[in-house]
Amino acid sequence: MVGIRKIGQIRRFLDRETTTRLMHAFISSRLDHCNSIHVALPKTLLRKLQMLQNSAARLVCQTKHRDHITPILHELHWLPVKERVKILLLTYKSLHALAPRYIDNVLTQQSLCRNLRSNSQNRLVPAKVKTISYGHRALSYAAPMLWNSLPNYIKDAQSVALFKRLLKTYLFNKAY
């Protein structure tokens, strides 16, 4: 990407904190923009986005291309691209009436006619999909699948800020 190359040209004049801010402004913001469409991207496309993030991390830490990237991303506290999906935040907001109404209509909570222990787990029902290649990318399927895989203590967070913090910690520990 052009932004990484231009920042790389002036890197020797910048300290680490300034370089990190530039990377967040120009690279991470683009990776995060509309990242809910990354949910079921093919691995080849996700790999290209991950390579972009890896280049940015290497530039910030001034490491060589052959150095292993996982410790660098861990040190910078950056989530891998596949873990940066904001669809879970949208789901949380929808369940707490903080999202647009059209999203509320897509997600349905699981309700059982009998009294079971799973009733208290705050689960969602994934929509039926007709096509395997594109159906799993739909919000009505992907959001419930990701939501149901979360631990209950995250789903039961009392505020959006607490949910974000718990979710990032969970995803960070899962990734590293």
Query: Would the pLDDT of 7 be above 60?
Result: yes
Q: What's the mean pLDDT in 153-166?
A: 94
111 pLDDT higher than 70 = no
pLDDT band at 172 (very low <50, low <70, confident <90, very high): very high
Can you tell me whether residue 21 is helix, strand or coil? helix
pLDDT of residue 157: 93
16-40: pLDDT as tens digits? 999 999 999 988 888 888 887 777 7
Mean pLDDT, range 43-59, rounded to an integer: 92
The CB density around residue 73, as the number of other CB atoms within 10 Å, is 21
| pTM reported for the whole predicted model | 0.80
Q: Within 10 Å of residue 17's Cβ, how many Cβ atoms? A: 9
Please, which pLDDT band fits residue 15 given cuts at 50, 70 and 90? very high
Domain assignments of the chain as residue spans, ordered by start:
2-82, 87-175
* Integer Cα distance of 121 and 153 in angstroms: 10
Contact between 59 and 86 under an 8 Å Cβ cutoff? The reply is no
Q: Would you state the pLDDT for residue 165?
A: 94
What percent of the chain shows pLDDT beyond 70?
A: 91
Model confidence pLDDT, tens digit, residues 120-136: 567 888 877 777 666 77
**What local confidence, expressed as pLDDT, does residue 19 receive?**
94
Report the half-sphere exposure of 50 (CA within 13 A, side-chain side). 16
Per the structure block, which two tokens stand in for 138? 């739909």
Measured CA to CA, the distance from residue 43 to residue 32 in angstroms comes to: 17
